[in-house]
Amino acid sequence: MIQIESTPNPDSLKFLSEKIISTIGTEEFQRNDVKKIDNKFIKELLSFNGIELVLLSKNFLSVKKTKEISWDEIKPLVISHLNHYFENNKRPILEEINKEKKTVTSEKEINETVEKIIEILDTKIRPAVAKDGGDIKFKSFKNGVVKVELQGSCSGCPSSLMTLKQGVQNLLKHYVKEVNSVEAI
């Protein structure tokens, strides 16, 4: 059974499943990159009129739509697509790590500060962001500035800047004294 949850972004919804959707963590896919995507389920989902972005996580899928289309048109398509997939497949939608993905930090860049930042993001911030159908990924740390990428429902959300500054930045500054600010890329 698929359940739907709203997110702070009015153009994004979270579709929860009893089945495992991804065993490789959170991955985001955009309509602009559909030619680079091999996964048939994701390609088909992004081909639906009005869907511009999908984010897959362990037990949920977030969909971001364009403003020109209503949720009444998209919700049944997404639910039907998910149900059809799981009726015909016993495996999660995402299983293998895409070998083209490069790690965000090289071995020499990983130091104690970066490890602390990543730990705080993973344990204290990502679970909260996931509740809203999004994700936050660490990109870099230099001169006191942490750069992160907001994905899924958080991407383009009206309240994401406030969340970033008041939530993420304050938490990281509290736990990691070397952090001065947080920016989204």
Phi and psi torsions of 62, nearest 5°: -105, 140
- pLDDT of the residue at 108: 47
Exposure string (b/e) for 29-62, b if CB count within 10 Å is 16 or more? Answer: bbbeeeeebebebbeebbebebbbbbbbbeebbb
Q: Which amino acid is at 46?
A: L
- pLDDT of the residue at 110: 52
CATH number of 107-184, picked from 2.30.38.10, 3.30.300.130, 3.10.20.30, 3.30.1490.390: 3.30.300.130
- pLDDT of the residue at 100: 44
Give me the sign of the Cα torsion angle 102, 48, 56, 157: positive
Burial class (CB in 10 A: 0-12, 13-18, 19+), 83: middle
pLDDT in tens, 72-101: 999 999 999 999 999 998 899 998 644 444
Strands (E), 1-86: 2-6, 12-17, 27-30, 51-56, 60-65
* Helix boundaries (H) for 71-111: 71-88
Q: What is the CATH number of domain 2-88?
A: 3.30.1370.70
- pLDDT of the residue at 63: 95
Whether the predicted model's global pTM rises above the 0.75 cut: no
- pLDDT of the residue at 96: 67
- pLDDT of the residue at 158: 72
Name residues of the chain where pLDDT drops below 50: 97-109
- The domain segmentation of the chain, as residue ranges, is 2-88, 107-184
